[in-house]
Amino acid sequence: MNQYRYLLLISLFLLCGCADPSRPSDLPPLFPCTITVTQGGVPLESALVELVLMPDGQKFRPSATTNADGIAEILTYGFTGAPAGKYKILVRKIIDDDPVYGINEHGERVEISYTRYRVVAERYSQLETTPHEIEVPATRRGVRTTVDVGEAIRIRVL
């Protein structure tokens, strides 16, 4: 019977006493937050999603990049979730396209330049103009939402 008590105590010590040393001490509790981004109703892959606490001024900015299904599992300082609060949702996506190729000193074909394009309207990446908001509740159940960023665009970025 005593051996089980020792095993229980050791297990509790290992589970509770091993805080992640890379987690900042001032990082508040985080709660699950999942945002699905669509563009014209189609999942948008590789878009950067950022949450800006209202009013702005947070030290840690929750963010994530969408996967092939347009889903962004929000992280804060590399840890899953976002602090509780009301946020504006910013979405950006820039692609590199129109590559120009040349030949390097070894005779190999290599890309020497490309053109950058914004494929999500700028209004969705600006705090003042984005229409999307989310409230992250202080609950382990978390929150899920879907935002649409309008029709696809292709604007050259200088």
Average pLDDT score over residue span 94-123 = 94
Q: Where are the domains of the chain?
A: 25-93+127-151
Tell me the sheet residues that pair with 63: 50, 75
Burial 41-79 (b: 16+ CB within 10 A, else e): eebbeebbbbbbbeeeebebebbbebeeebbbbbbbeee
Average pLDDT score over residue span 67-82 = 97
pLDDT tens digit string along 111-138?
989 999 999 999 999 999 999 999 999 9
More confident call, 10 vs 84: 84
pLDDT at residue number 59:
80
Nearest in space to 38 (alpha carbons), one of 151, 152, 147: 147
pTM, two decimals, is 0.79
97: pLDDT strictly greater than 50: yes
* Helix then strand then coil, % of the chain, to nearest 5: 10, 45, 45
22-26: long-range contacts, CB 8 A cutoff, minimum separation 24: 22/78, 23/77, 23/79, 24/60, 24/77, 26/59
Question: How many angstroms separate the Cα of 98 from the Cα of each of 51, 115, 117?
Answer: 31, 6, 10
Mean pLDDT score of the chain, rounded to an integer? 87
Question: Percentage of the chain with pLDDT > 90?
Answer: 75
pLDDT at residue number 71:
98
Confidence band (pLDDT; 50, 70, 90) for 20? low
The domain 25-93+127-151 having CATH identifier 2.60.40.10: the answer here is yes
Average pLDDT score over residue span 129-158 = 95
pLDDT at residue number 54:
87
pLDDT at residue number 1:
47
